[in-house]
Chain A
Amino acid sequence: MTMEPNKMEEVFRKKLNEREIQPSEAAWDRLDAMLSVTENKRPKRNFRWLYVAASMVLFSGVGLLLMHQERSNQTLPMNSNDNVVVEGKAIKEAEAVSEPVNGDGSPIFEKHNNAETLAEHQSNTSTPVRKKQKVANSTLQEVRIDKVPVLQETPPVILENTHQEPEKMLAVNEAPKEKPKVKVNANSLLSSVEGELNMEFRETTLDKIKKNFKTVKTAVANRNYE
């Protein structure tokens, strides 16, 4: 049995492998056109996948963001309660600090008198005194410094001035009392505003998603039409 390629087949093989048949001119043009078609198809497919992938990433990202925010919202009320408690304490402390000052009143007088006497001893415009007064209160300082020469001549005026001062000082001391109350309001306002902001953010992001979805939709539709 001769299953091996025989001599005749050797000749066949040799001659056939040497042969070349020139294809028609149109053959390359056809191949060229076919290649162009597939080239145009491929990026389209890729773009479609990109759209799908991009929208998926967008949705998951927005979802994660909203979930994260919801979590932080759940934790926020807890913090605000703590704040309220702390603020209450702060108010009490502020009151405790301010009350003795209101009750006595005299230590402040003394301090100011000392300051004024110091000013008397030193020259009219001594910087260290000014600094001390600046630390105490800004509006009162300048008035007092202006009145320092007057005090030297007429001591009773000092009393009148000092009588006015405690009232002012009281007003200044009362101010911190009001501040915590305002602060409480501000915090509650802040949290409510934050909530509103969250709602606004959600609405805007939803709008954005809708817009993106529409653009993707139209793009895909256009592609399909093509």
Chain B
Amino acid sequence: MKVIHLHQDEKEIIQLAVENNRHAQHKIYAQFAPKMLSVCRQYIKDVHQAEDIMITAFMKVFSNLKHFEHKGSFEGWIRRIMVNESISFLRVQKQVKFTEDENFFEERFNNIESQFSVEDIQFLIDSLPDGYRMVFNLYAIEGYKHQEIAEMLGISEGTSKSQLSHARKMLQDQINKQKNYDYGTE
């Protein structure tokens, strides 16, 4: 019963936001902004830039809210808009180009302990080039398929796979370095 009530509540707020009710719009913003800024931050190293992207993405959320069909989760729908906005920013503003590269190699991850903090993880991801980071985020964090990523970024599926393998390799190297550094200091 409570779940149904909450869902109805969300529907109501969305409807009000569609009608440009600023209070409802702020409610939606306040509920999702911190998570969505985190999503944008995955792709964009600079927090302020990430916030700019989040604001433009929220503009798109509100202008397209009447098209939201209440089929999937509302958060998922907003998140998609955030991811698309971040990607288009990197591709258009930062002119990130992908070199068509069908070579990917097998890489093996050492089991890592979950002692990594979010900051550590973000630091590792930040160290990746924009292209690698995009593919890695889309595939490993968002859970998109290579075919979907290829369509989103306008690249071939093979390139998406090779970018992912490069990203993984780089991440592994970074983690190994970190481990060696940690062992060295101990």
Minimal Cβ-Cβ distance residue in B for A15: B118
Is there contact, CB below 8 Å, between B59 and A38?
A: yes
Tell me if A175 is interfacial: C-beta within 8 Å of chain B.
no
Of the residues B50, B104, B114, contact of A11 by C-beta under 8 Å: B114
Chain B residues near A39 (CB, 8 Å)?
Answer: 20
Chain B residues near A13 (CB, 8 Å)?
Answer: 140-141, 143
Is there contact, CB below 8 Å, between A23 and B140?
A: no
Chain B residues 152 to 174 lying within 8 A of chain A, measured CB to CB, are 161, 164, 171
Nearest-Cβ distance from residue B67 to partner chain A, whole angstroms: 16
A20/B59 contact (C-beta < 8 A), A2-B106, A27-B54, A35-B20 known? no
Is there contact, CB below 8 Å, between B34 and A32?
A: no
Tell me if B22 is interfacial: C-beta within 8 Å of chain A.
yes
Q: How far is the CA of A39 from the CA of B17 in the complex (A)?
A: 12
Q: Is the interface of A mostly helix, strand, loop or mixed?
A: helix
Minimal Cβ-Cβ distance residue in A for B142: A13
Q: How far is the CA of A219 from the CA of B33 in the complex (A)?
A: 40
Chain B residues 102 to 145 lying within 8 A of chain A, measured CB to CB, are 104, 106-109, 111-112, 114, 116-118, 121-122, 125, 139-141, 143
Number of interface residues of B (CB under 8 A): 44
Tell me if A75 is interfacial: C-beta within 8 Å of chain B.
no
Is there contact, CB below 8 Å, between A31 and B59?
A: yes
Chain B residues near A12 (CB, 8 Å)?
Answer: 116, 121, 125, 140-141
Q: How far is the CA of A13 from the CA of B179 in the complex (A)?
A: 21
Chain B residues near A3 (CB, 8 Å)?
Answer: 161, 164
Is there contact, CB below 8 Å, between B41 and A21?
A: yes
Chain B residues near A34 (CB, 8 Å)?
Answer: 55, 59
Q: How far is the CA of A11 from the CA of B113 in the complex (A)?
A: 9
Of the residues B55, B111, B117, B175, contact of A30 by C-beta under 8 Å: B55
Tell me if A1 is interfacial: C-beta within 8 Å of chain B.
yes
Is there contact, CB below 8 Å, between A11 and B26?
A: no
A19/B118 contact (C-beta < 8 A), A5-B140, A27-B33, A27-B51 known? yes
Chain A residues near B22 (CB, 8 Å)?
Answer: 32, 35
Q: How far is the CA of A31 from the CA of B56 in the complex (A)?
A: 8
Minimal Cβ-Cβ distance residue in A for B110: A8
Minimal Cβ-Cβ distance residue in A for B112: A8
Is there contact, CB below 8 Å, between B38 and A20?
A: yes
Is there contact, CB below 8 Å, between B29 and A31?
A: yes
Is there contact, CB below 8 Å, between B38 and A21?
A: yes
Is there contact, CB below 8 Å, between B59 and A21?
A: no
Tell me if A16 is interfacial: C-beta within 8 Å of chain B.
yes
Chain B residues near A17 (CB, 8 Å)?
Answer: 141
Is there contact, CB below 8 Å, between B54 and A9?
A: no
Is there contact, CB below 8 Å, between B35 and A2?
A: no
Chain B residues near A2 (CB, 8 Å)?
Answer: 106-109
Is there contact, CB below 8 Å, between B54 and A23?
A: yes
Chain A residues near B107 (CB, 8 Å)?
Answer: 2
Scan B40-68; emit 1 where CB is below 8 A from any A CB, else 0.
01100001001100110011001100000
Nearest-Cβ distance from residue A94 to partner chain B, whole angstroms: 76
Interface residues, chain A, with chain B CB atoms under 8 Å away: 1-3, 5-9, 11-13, 15-24, 27-28, 30-32, 34-35, 38-39
In the complex, 12 of the A-B residue pairs with CB atoms within 8 angstroms, ordered by the A residue number, are: A5-B140, A6-B109, A7-B111, A8-B112, A13-B141, A21-B34, A23-B37, A28-B33, A31-B55, A31-B58, A32-B22, A35-B22
Minimum-distance CB pairs A-B, first 5: A20-B34, A9-B140, A21-B37, A19-B38, A15-B118
